[in-house]
């Protein structure tokens, strides 16, 4: 075997570089997103699409149109990064997008008004909640087909899988119980009542009989052992032990808690109490309220970043900030006037918050440390929510 001469090596190397560049150029024609963690997904309700924004450059990578009058509600990427899915609330369908090529690869009929959704940790099952159909559509992500519709829920809003994927817990906004689903058989196993409706409720038909505002979500503790479920009408948070599937503590919070949001370090949970415009900060070690602090009207979300909690007050145009060390207010950030704030996601470094602002069709990026904001305009019509793969703050209204 003869060794090549240096000149041939250099020429060969140069050729390889040029040809590799050519080849990579060809490859890029088909692939729009090579790293699923590099983008923010934006669900645009009125332009009926899912838009993708590069986190580093703030440029739009592309968008996937779903069809007129689809009105997508929540977007989520599968844990393995292969697919992006959304439920089209007014189309009664689930939409599946290939992450790499941004092609809409499958449309699957669901039940009525699909909104919030969740993936099993192994990415195999996509549970789509259908609040108006009182059901969960189970979609197999291997065959990309709906394999079952689980009935028996009452306005199911959010689904939470256990870390081992064995069970899923469903918050029923039209009732005061959390549903337990056996993921192996996709069957509703049990209904866990969060708290008893007080006897005095019969004197107040205006509140208790006009419409139930029950449980939005059962949010997991840091280790997944416990779930925290806020009940709006009863103004309590029930703590569920997932080993025994029973309530071990009931914590009274402020009026009309929309839902609970868990801090990334697992120390606290925050309920956004729209009835009295406060937040209740729950210490998860003692399972008691550590502080109740003033907030704003019509809260739609809480994000955690930089040791602080950022509470979105949708109609006031403000994001209220709280220091999670001292548990006291740390100011508020004005996003705008006469605008509607929606929901937000936090990057995986816990440094930036990506907030959907629907009036001006923009995403507002908040620096958690300095509270400085940056606007990315024209992301699509009526951005309703955002999502980043592996973010700990992926939620919807």
Partner 1 sequence: MHDRVRLRKIIKMCTDLARVAAALVLCGSTAAAQPPAMPAQMNMADHRGAVTGRVRNASGAGVVDATVTAVHAENGAQFTATTDAEGAYAFEALPIGKYDLSIVLAGLTAFRQRGIDVAADRSVQVDIVLNAASAAQAAEGERLELLQKIATLEQRISDLESTTVLSEPETRVRRVEVFVDDSGNEHDEPVPGAKPAVTYRRERVYRRQTISEKIEEALEEAGKRSVSVGVDAAIGTQVAGRTQGLSSLAHNHAYALASADLFFTAGLAQNTLFFADIVGLSGSPPDAEIPTLTLLNGYTARLVRQNELNLREAWLRTELFGQRLALTAGRLDLTNYFDANAVANDESTQFLSDALVNNQMLGLASNGTGVAAEFDAKTGFRFKFGLQQSNTEATNLSESMYTLTEAGYTFTPLALPEGTYRVWFRTDNSSATTRKGIGVSVDQKLSPAVALFGRYGTQEGDLGRDHFYSAGVGFQSGLIFNPQDTWGVGYAQMELASGEREKLAEGFYNFHLTERLRLSFHLTHVLDAPGVDAKFGYLLPGVRLQAAF
| Residues 173-192 contacting partner 1, CB under 8 A | none
| Window of 1-9, 104-112, 156-164, 179-187 that interacts with partner 1 by CB under 8 A | 104-112
Shortest distance, CB of residue 136 to partner 1, whole angstroms? 17
CB 37 within 8 A of CB 52: no
Nearer to partner 1, 77 or 217 (CB): 77
Binding residues with partner 1: total (CB under 8 A): 83
- Rank residues 32 and 190 by Cβ distance to partner 1 and give the closer one: 32
Chain Cα centroid distance, residue 14: 47
Residue 190 CB, nearest approach to partner 1 (Å): 25
- Site for partner 1 (CB under 8 A): which residue of 185, 225, 334, 369? 334
Among positions 327, 367, 373, 397, the unique one binding partner 1 when judged by CB under 8 A: 327
Long-range CB pairs of 294-300 (<8 Å, 24+ gap) are: 294/329, 295/320, 296/320, 296/332, 298/274, 299/258, 299/272, 299/273, 299/274, 300/258, 300/272, 300/341, 300/342, 300/343, 300/397
* Nearest to partner 1 of 27, 187 (CB atom): 27
Q: Which of 62, 51, 121, 58 is nearest to 86 (CA)?
A: 51
Which of 63, 92, 263, 300 lies at the binding interface for partner 1 (CB under 8 A)? 92
Assign 3-state DSSP to the chain and report helix, strand, coil percentages, each to 5: 10, 50, 45
In this chain, which stretch among 1-9, 177-185, 198-206, 349-357 interacts with partner 1, using CB under 8 A? Answer: 198-206
CB closer to partner 1 out of 203 and 372:
203
Helix (H, G, I), strand (E, B) or coil at 103: strand
Cα–Cα distance, 258 to 158 (Å, whole number): 13
**Applying CB under 8 A, which part among 140-148, 160-168, 212-220, 263-271 lies near partner 1?**
140-148
Query: Under rule CB under 8 A, which residues in 338-377 are in contact with partner 1?
Result: 338, 359-360
Question: Which residues from 277-316 bind partner 1, rule CB under 8 A?
Answer: 288-294, 316
Each residue 16-55 as x (binds partner 1 by CB under 8 A) or -, in order, gives x--xx-xxx-xx-xxx---xxx-------xxxx-------
Helix (H, G, I), strand (E, B) or coil at 222: coil
112 lines the binding site for partner 1 (CB under 8 A): yes
Question: How would you list the strands of the sheet with 299-305, edge to edge?
Answer: 299-305, 308-313, 318-323, 328-334
Q: Nearest 5°: phi and psi at 55?
A: -65, -40
Q: Which strands form 257-262's sheet, in the order they lie side by side?
A: 257-262, 268-273, 278-283, 288-294
Binds partner 1 by CB under 8 A, chosen from 14, 105, 147, 349: 105
């Amino acid at each position: 075997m003869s060794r090549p001469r240096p000149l041939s090596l250099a020429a060969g190397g140069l050729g390889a570089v040029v040809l590799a560049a050519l080849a990579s150029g060809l490859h890029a024609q088909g692939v729009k997103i090579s790293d699923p963690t590099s983008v923010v997904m934006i669900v645009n309700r009125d332009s009926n699409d899912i838009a993708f924004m590069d986190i580093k450059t703030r440029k739009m990578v592309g968008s996937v149109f779903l069809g007129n009058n689809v009105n997508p509600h929540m977007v989520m990427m599968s844990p393995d990064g292969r697919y992006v899915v959304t439920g089209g609330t007014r189309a009664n369908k689930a939409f599946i997008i290939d992450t790499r090529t941004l092609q809409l690869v499958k449309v699957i009929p669901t039940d009525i008004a699909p909104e919030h959704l969740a993936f099993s940790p192994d990415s195999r099952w996509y549970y789509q909640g259908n609040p108006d159909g009182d059901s969960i559509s189970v979609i197999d992500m291997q065959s990309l087909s709906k394999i079952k519709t689980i009935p028996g829920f009452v306005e199911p809003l959010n689904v939470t899988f256990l870390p081992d994927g064995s069970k899923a817990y469903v918050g029923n906004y039209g009732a005061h119980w959390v549903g337990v689903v056996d993921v192996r058989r996709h069957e509703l196993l049990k209904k866990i009542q969060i708290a008893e409706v007080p006897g005095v409720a019969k004197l107040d038909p205006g509140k208790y009989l006009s419409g139930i505002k029950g449980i939005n979500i059962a949010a997991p503790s840091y280790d997944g052992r416990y779930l925290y479920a806020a009940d709006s009408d009863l103004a309590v948070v029930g703590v569920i032990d997932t080993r025994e599937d029973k309530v071990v503590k009931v914590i009274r919070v402020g009026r009309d808690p929309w839902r609970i949001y868990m801090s990334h370090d697992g120390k606290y949970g925050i309920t956004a109490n729209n009835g009295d415009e406060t937040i209740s900060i729950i210490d998860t070690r003692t399972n008691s309220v550590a502080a109740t602090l003033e907030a704003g009207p019509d809260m739609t979300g809480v994000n955690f970043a930089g040791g602080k909690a950022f509470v979105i007050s949708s109609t006031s145009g403000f994001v209220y900030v709280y220091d999670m060390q001292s548990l006291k207010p740390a100011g508020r950030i004005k996003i705008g006037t006469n605008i509607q704030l929606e929901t937000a996601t936090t990057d995986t470094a816990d440094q930036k918050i990506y907030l959907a602002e629907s009036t001006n069709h923009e995403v507002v990026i908040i620096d958690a440390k300095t509270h400085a904001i940056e606007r990315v305009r024209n992301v699509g019509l009526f951005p309703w929510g955002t999502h980043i793969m592996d973010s700990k703050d992926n939620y919807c209204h």
